[in-house]
Structure 1
Amino acid sequence: MNPAEVPLFGGWFVLSTELAAAIAIVAAVRWRHRRTWRLWLPLAVAVGATAAATTYWVLARRDLAPDAAPWTFWIWLSLAVALMFMVPAAWIGARWWRRITGVAAVGLTVVCLALAANQWAGFYPTAGRAWQGLTDQPLPGQISFATLVQLRGNPEPDGKIVPLRSSDRISSFHHRPEYVYLPPAWFSGKVPPHLPAVVMIGGVVTTPEDWVRSGSALQTVRAYAATHGGQAPILVFVDPSGSLSNDTECVDGPHGNVDTHITKEVRPAVVSEFGASDHPGKWAVAGWSMGGTCAIDLTVEHPDLFRTFVDISGDVGPNLGNRAQTTSTLFGGRAADWERFDPATAMRRHGPYSGVGGWFQSEGHHHGPGLTSPQIRATETLSTVARDNGIDVVVRPVPGRHNWQFAAQAFADALPWLMARIDAPN
């Protein structure tokens, strides 16, 4: 088997790693002095359990669906923390081979924890995808802007990905490199056609590349183009956070002026550099998790720029806890900004919309006659307000888990509907 094709969501590699970790843990326990373990084992177990409980509480408080995590995540988290506590405590006076067993147990347990977290979020299905993402390899089909100029008029059946030269002069938001996918139709003719465009946004812990590496957006749009004469939207992979630890919810606030960055820097750059249509009916925003919240928020706030959204498993609004916590942390205590960026409030204040539409697709589990989850409840709330204010909506509750695989399938489900809207005559 090609090493790049080693599966990370299950199969022989995951099972072998878990077995090796279990053997290392048993060896570490077996070869320690009994008196040492009688002293430290109960403390280590308590520390590990406390770490798992605290993590669950923090995730639940942030509405990040800890119930969706595989049970192995909590097991390996508890074991990893317990071993990190215990092994250093027993280090002094231990023989070299005992130290090696302890270090091996810690290392393998951390690897198992990372594999479980990856299974939960669905970031990397294979070792090759993980290597590309973790080492910042070029995206599939990525070329430089200088090379792009030379391809005008040449057939490009798969399209190309190009870095977006977006500014931060207006927003002062320091973003990571952003990208644009140009479909086959873009390369035909002497000048770029005025194609529709879709802004793509990931979750809280995200990079601009995630919709390509984890969300299969490139495969989805290429497949669509192959059956529609090369016609497909320009995809704009933006950076909504600037780092992996900065939850902006795509608003303007202390965490960064992301709303301003997308509306006043990214969108104009795509129009000016790649000839995308400037008509709001030709523009959409699609996102998963936090990105789903961003999608509806950007559209209902800026119907003069975007007329279509795809909200995949988003929240009912920008969320860093309850309303008071969100107002304090995300908006610096400014209640007026919470009201501005809350999509339900924005829709009610705007009143009837014209020509705006949205696709809601959220995962849930069976409960009684239907499906339920925090995301489905958010969809029910927002879709009702949207309909009441003249927005055409499609609502699709689907069994599934809150991960990138669900996001990838949801985008594939929505793309034909999306293109019917944004590729229609103005």
Structure 2
Amino acid sequence: MGLTSNNTLVATVLAAMALFAGTVWLWPRLARRGWRSVGGRIGLLLATQFMLFVSAGLAANHAFGFYASWADLFGQETDQGVVVDHTPGVRSSGPLKVTEIGDVPGRGGFRPSSVGQIQKVDIVGPTSHIASPAYVYLPPEYFQARYQTRTFPAAVVLTGYPGTARALVDKLHYPRTALELAKDGRMQPMILVMLRPTVAPPRDTECADVPDGPQTESFFAKDLPEAVTAHYRVRTEPGSWGIIGDSTGGYCALKLAMHHPKVYAAGAGLSPYYKAPVDATTGDLFHGDKTLRGRADLWWCLKHLPAPDTSLLVSSSRVGEANYKETLKFIERVKATETTRISSIILESGGHNFNTWRREIPATLEWVSERLSGRSASDE
């Protein structure tokens, strides 16, 4: 059974309940002083506690999508196979390969020209030498005959750490939300490229170019946009790309928009932080290089680097988010610049979780859409 399967979760909960009942039933028989009785009591207690721990962990993973499979959990992902796609309207050459084609969750059975399509892809970066899977949402207009020559703006969507890209589809509902907003006329049709910032698992690189290590920033700033643009009908004019993320992905979205404003015209951080941590998950990101350490600190960037010509969005909650005071300070710091624009979503209450981000995603997609360029004369 899969890690995210409902059957797995139900089986572990039932096993925990059975062990608890067995412990209560057998305890009187094991109330003696012999080593067998003591060992039996210890074994029952440990087994019950273990199953409770596993059940709680599986329930948390089921709700928040930290890991997608057992191999992902134990750091043994080996899914590097690619399949060349021959779907009409999709080019198959270049560093991006389509491996699966699926429906928008909740809209299965409908034609792509009505609800769009989700494609699982593998992206290999020629500059960074990073290979990463991703999910691409193509809006229904992409498949409609009257838009067959039209190009579309695009937005990269990032999870937190460790996160799973599929959670952006199934848990945070980005494709379905984008579809509904576009149908209501609240945002323009956009291509969404959904993946996790952990492109060198299990290491958390904080979207940095690590000396003698993963070149993650180069992957997101150069390889990813070029691969997607070469494969799909994506606009190439300045102002055509945005980036969104939550938690670690939110920090990455802000940093990439600030470091590469000519690539990302808008960056939205949901529950972000503003300085890259260095801990057991990251390892030594900077190798003593003070400039690299400074570039990973958004406060340092605002103080020491020219203010970038880009738009930023940050979110927090007055109650429930640890970043609330820092977010208010960041807003004021950005407002003091002349060229960087800042917007915010501040909820009255909301924790650092999927439920909070689902409340912020519709407004975030609208905000990004408003800041990306629409169709050009060549699309007419």
Mark yes or no: TM-score above 0.5.
Answer: yes
* Match for residue 349 of structure 1 among 283, 297, 304: 304
After superposition, where does 1:184-333 map in structure 2 within 5 Å? 184-189=140-145, 191-228=148-185, 231-242=188-199, 245-253=202-210, 256-320=214-278, 329-333=284-288
- Change beyond 3 A, Cα 1:187–1:388: same
Q: Which residue in 2 is equivalent to 1:148?
A: 87
Aligned counterparts of 2:49 and 2:232: Cα–Cα separation in 1: 50
Amino acid at match of 1:246: R
Asked whether 1:110 is paired with 2:53, we answer: yes
Determine if contact 1:165/1:269 at 8 Å carries over to the other structure.
no
Cα distance change on mapping 1:171 and 1:334 into 2, 3 Å: same
SS of residue matched to 1:157: helix
Q: 1:161 aligns with which of 114, 118, 129?
A: 118
Q: 1:26 to 1:113 in 2, by over 3 A?
A: farther
Mean CA deviation greater in 250-259 or 224-233: 224-233
The residue number in structure 2 matching 1:384 is 332
Q: Indicate if the aligned counterparts of 1:207 and 1:243 stay in contact, CA closer than 8 A.
A: no
5+ long unaligned stretches in structure 1: 41-89, 125-129, 137-143, 366-371
Of stretches 19-28 and 251-260 in structure 1, the one that deviates more from structure 2 is 19-28
The alpha-carbon deviation at position 337 of structure 1 amounts to: 0.4
Within 2, Cα distance between the matches of 1:226 and 1:145? 31
In the TM superposition, what whole-angstrom CA distance separates every residue of 1:380-422 from its partner, at most 9, and x where no partner exists? 2322222122322222222111112222221122122221111
Give the % identical residues.
22
Give the Cα separation in 2 of the matches to 1:202 and 1:380. 23
Question: Is the Cα–Cα contact under 8 Å of residues 163 and 180 in structure 1 kept in the other structure?
Answer: yes
Contact (CA 8 Å) 2:238, 2:263: kept in 1 or not? Answer: yes
Do structure 1's residue 122 and structure 2's residue 51 form an aligned pair? no
Superposition deviation, residue 116 in structure 1: 5.1
Deviates further, 270-279 or 164-173? 164-173
SS at match of 1:266: helix
Cα distance in 2 for partners of 1:164, 1:392 equals 33
- CA–CA separation in structure 2 for the residues paired with 1:150 and 1:395: 38
TM-score, length-scaled by structure 2: 0.75
Per-residue deviation, 1:225: 2.7
What is aligned with 1:396?
345
Tell me the CA shift for residue 177 of structure 1: 1.5
The aligned length equals 340
Give the Å deviation of 1:316. Answer: 1.6
Q: CA RMSD in A?
A: 3.9
In structure 2, relative to structure 1, the CA distance for the partners of 1:123 and 1:17 (3 Å cut) is farther
Structure number having the greater helix percentage: 1
Flag the 1:425–1:273 CA change in 2: closer, same or farther, 3 A. closer
Report whether the alignment pairs 1:411 with 2:366: no
Structure 2: how far apart are the matches of 1:327 and 1:176?
A: 18
User: Given residue 344 of structure 2, which amino acid in structure 1 is its aligned partner?
Assistant: V
Distance in 2 (CA, whole Å) between partners of 1:21 and 1:406 is 35
> How far off is 1:184 after superposition?
1.1
| C-alpha distance 151-274 of structure 1, shift in aligned 2 (>3 A) | closer
Residues 1:177 and 2:133 are matched in the alignment: yes
